[in-house]
Amino acid sequence: MDDGGQRVRWRAARGEEPVVLVTGATGMVGREVVRGLPSGLCVRVMSRNPSKAAGMFPEARTVAGDYTDPPSLARALRGVHTAFLVTNRPDGDDDARFVSAARAAGVRRVVKLSAAAVLDARADDLITRWQRANEELLRSCGLQWTLLRPRAFMSNSLSWAADVRSERTVRALYGTSPNACVDPRDVAEVAVRALTEEGHAGRAYTLTGPQALTAVAQTRELGRLLGVPLRFEELTVAEARAALSGRCPPPVVEALLASAERQRAGAKALVEDTVQAVTGRPARSFRQWGQDHIEAFTPAPDEAATQQRMG
């Protein structure tokens, strides 16, 4: 980090090794946070499904915890020094419950996964309003805090994988609108720094990739990596709404469509150098992300045979 931040080994008041708690550990960013924490730290993973998390992270201690269950939060946060906070219910008060429990447990700092949209005055959708409220809650709670504000994750393109494998086609809304999407591993590395180094308290980091890309450009890059041409098919708003409605409640669907409109207007094209400033290395490109995840887009032998028969 360019301000001289140093990784430290904290000691709690009674001399115990301090605990780093990770929530959302089975998600795209959380899993990379757990994997990226230095060996020797006492890492605790909070999950509503401890058996699943324990299987993913045998090196960490897994505890049962639910944002709607205050006693479980108190148990999960006991002895915790810093915590990585991920929530995903815009109609709930999970952040407030967690922060209250963290204060009671004597947690020193909370590193919160937020979103870059909070900085856009034109963004007034449900999800952005919820994230702004969560940020304000954390800033005023009396704990040390660090805010991570990523752009869209490069991993969102995994939603195209099935169509790419079976039809060599990507389907998306507004294919020529740019987004400075970021590799979740870069977000996780910044989170690890904020959890284990001094110098990050009171900071808000906007995190992007090294360039703004359109869905059409991402499709082209995936095709190059696969060695086959891919077709891009533009969805209408109605088609995008129908696709989203299969996995999201209506208010969230409308928030995502509003976000896509802002992207179409250029609101998500700005590139920041924060990953470089915090970690000392450039943000990963979409090509790098694609190379590391190309198996998800590669047809299985039976799928490949079907494609050959279809020409």
Contacts for 74 with CB less than 8 Å, ≥ 6 apart: 101, 104, 105
- The answer to whether 144 touches 201, Cβ cutoff 8 Å, is yes
Task: Give the separation between CA 48 and CA 126, rounded to whole angstroms.
Answer: 25
**Beta-carbon neighbour count of residue 222 at 10 Å?**
24
Report the predicted TM-score, pTM, of the whole model to 2 decimal places: 0.92
Q: Where are the domains of the chain?
A: 19-151+183-207
CATH superfamily of 19-151+183-207: NAD(P)-binding Rossmann-like Domain (3.40.50.720)
Quote the CA–CA distance of 114 and 123 in Å, as a whole number.
14
Angle of CA points 205, 189, 68, to nearest 5°:
75
| pLDDT tens, N- to C-terminus, the chain (311 residues) | 434 344 444 444 344 567 999 999 999 999 999 999 998 899 999 999 888 888 899 889 999 999 999 999 999 999 999 999 999 999 889 999 999 999 999 999 999 999 999 999 999 999 999 999 999 999 999 999 999 999 999 999 999 999 999 999 999 999 999 999 999 999 999 999 999 999 999 999 999 999 999 999 999 999 999 999 999 999 999 999 999 999 999 999 999 999 999 999 999 999 999 999 999 999 999 999 999 999 999 998 766 555 555 55
